[in-house]
Structure 1
């Protein structure tokens, strides 16, 4: 059942959680996705069957949460995630991040200390606003951002993505790939070599849109159960 809470910037943020045994499994979705996607629902069904605590949610301007997409950044969505996790969970956590959610999981997880039991990163896209988007923009797109504050890029999943200057500049506050990352817990990275949304180079630097087939979901479940049994 969808519930709402007030986020760090006063917007209503949608979330759904189930009570159960710890650690709480938290699913962090991708760029312009929402908490009703196949992976989120699969994991919630798995958690219900197991009696595991579980949380999924929508960042501001995603899904059922309030907000205007072009007025937000990855840094602000990370703040949303931190606020929902702080308000709706207790005890140890396992973060499962898909695409942008992988970036946010890395950003939040590095400061969680012993509370973080494990990370599962699915086609993680850390720092993609700079290293993938801005780096690939044409001069025309850069001019559009300079003049209008926004440009549009094609999407394989529907309408073109609006990319704002605010998204590009403010997301730098959340960068994680500019210095070494260290975690005192298991970290599992799932990356397909045919994924068009996230480059293989990004995955290799770390050592979603498409990871919802039964075989891929089975891999996610296997990695999750591996963490729980460790």
Structure 2
């Protein structure tokens, strides 16, 4: 495995990334909450991009993977700043954003902030607003009190150590909610999700589809697939979605 390169963002955070040169539009992979760029989907998509001769970028948010910083110090606003910094500094022209779970939320924020740089969007089990609608809404009174008194609470995770959820994460998330208003996506967009996802409720996908407005937006539900969405069949669907988005771009 090659060593990562690093970018220092305007906020001073040190972000690890791996970039593949190739033709445009480039593809940028945005990972999930407490995930990293070594995940199955990111690596598989990089392999696809290499086969297709396409530019590709994967990276770790601050506090994730090989990037600097502590995970518990971060929040949605910080990680969105990280994504914006790498897109602006490390890519050229318009990009297809592929966002997994929290990365789906971040990619929607990028579509709002950098509309001139986004050529298309693919989300995988997108989890916009999860800090409010899943975490905060699911906290009992004891957890809410703990969050207020000691500014953090531990949540069990099927993926390893418990997640430490901070008061800052919850409060900052409220500044970046997407599902309360219209979401303009004026480019080819594909939302992918498994019906057996235990982490993101199917209602989130339906709400996202309802809020999204654009000329070419589709939701693909795959029966029986879980939140990981990373078996060979799902990886092929992700690649196909990126190819569809590329083909649907003006001038393609």
TM-score under structure 2 length normalisation = 0.89
5+ residue gaps, structure 1, are none
| Residue in structure 2 matched with residue 219 of structure 1 by the alignment | 237
CA RMSD of aligned residues (A): 1.1
Aligned residues between the structures: 230
Give the secondary structure class of the aligned counterpart of 1:191: strand
| Residue number among 74, 81, 84 corresponding to 1:82 in the alignment | 84
| Residue number among 116, 119, 126 corresponding to 1:117 in the alignment | 119
- Cα distance change on mapping 1:114 and 1:6 into 2, 3 Å: closer
Deviation at 1:115, TM superposition (A): 3.0
| Residue in structure 2 matched with residue 204 of structure 1 by the alignment | 206
Deviation at 1:75, TM superposition (A): 1.2
| Residue number among 175, 178, 184 corresponding to 1:176 in the alignment | 178
Deviation at 1:127, TM superposition (A): 0.6
Q: Tell me the alpha carbon deviations over residues 45-66 of structure 1, each in whole angstroms, 9 at most, x when there is no partner.
A: 1111111000000000000011
Range 122-131 or range 201-210, more displaced: 201-210
5+ residue gaps, structure 2, are 210-225
Greater RCO (Cα-Cα under 8 Å, separation 6 or more) = 1
Q: Is residue 37 of structure 2 the alignment partner of residue 19 of structure 1?
A: no
How do residues 48-197 of structure 1 correspond to structure 2 at under 5 angstroms?
Answer: 48-197=50-199
Q: Tell me the alpha carbon deviations over residues 133-163 of structure 1, each in whole angstroms, 9 at most, x when there is no partner.
A: 0000011111111111100111010010000
Q: Distance in 1 between matches of 2:98 and 2:21?
A: 17
Moved over 3 A (4+): none
